[in-house]
Amino acid sequence: MSSKPAVALTELRPSEIWYTFGRVRSTFSGCGRALEDTLEEIKLGRLRASELPPIAVITHDAEDDAEDGDESDNDERRKRRGAGKSSARAKAKTVRRYYSMNNRRLWVLKRCEELGLIETVGVRMESAESCARLLRKGSRNFRLDRCTPGPVKIVKEPERERGGGGVAAATAAAARETEPGEQEAR
């Protein structure tokens, strides 16, 4: 029996959550299962989306630029509202943004929402202190300037050789790809 305390989850629509990077690997890191396979298991009813571990989410209050569009659209809006006559600019709207620290699970959950399989998902909200630190300093996995609401590019995993990996395997693979005479010239 686990001694971990129960964590309160917050319900959010996956479409409200941003990815923290524009690319997502095609397999989960722990089990190696393909994201598409996990999605298929959910579609077939063999797995429930709620059985996936909850994603960790950080929050940030940001200016909403989603409805700004390009500059010509803004000019048209100002003219229609009569704002073109006034030099006073409308105050920017602040919105709460959510960023996933688990992009692969978020990809699966967003597809589930698009397919109508789920409406919301329980997420683990990071503490205000953690959010502030990540927003201020960033980390290897999080930088605000790389965040995107999607879509993201799915990146296939490189084929791994049996018997290990690392620099030695990469060097051996590169040597096999070179022409026989080319290797001697090195």
**Cβ(129)–Cβ(49) below 8 Å:** no
For residue 42, what pLDDT is reported?
A: 96
Six-digit token string for 126: 């990071």
For residue 117, what pLDDT is reported?
A: 96
Q: What is the pLDDT of residues 39-97, one digit of tens each?
A: 999 999 999 999 999 999 999 888 876 544 444 444 444 444 454 444 445 667 889 99
pLDDT greater at residue 104 or residue 143:
104
Cβ-Cβ contacts under 8 Å for 29 (sequence gap 6 or more)? 104
pLDDT greater at residue 169 or residue 55:
55
Q: Is the pTM above the cut of 0.85?
A: no
Once rounded to an integer, what is the mean pLDDT over residues 160-182? 45
Identity of the amino acid at 114: E
Eight-state DSSP code of residue 51:
G
17-18: strand order across its sheet: 10-12, 121-125, 56-63, 94-100, 17-18
SS3 for 52-95, per residue? Answer: CCCCEEEEEEEECCCCCCCHHHHHHHHHHHCHHHCCCCCCCCEE
Confidence grade of residue 138 (pLDDT, cut at 50, 70, 90): confident
Q: Look at the block and give the residue holding tokens 């967003």.
A: 110
- Would you report the helix, strand and coil content of the chain in percent, each value rounded to 5? 40, 20, 45
Confidence grade of residue 163 (pLDDT, cut at 50, 70, 90): very low
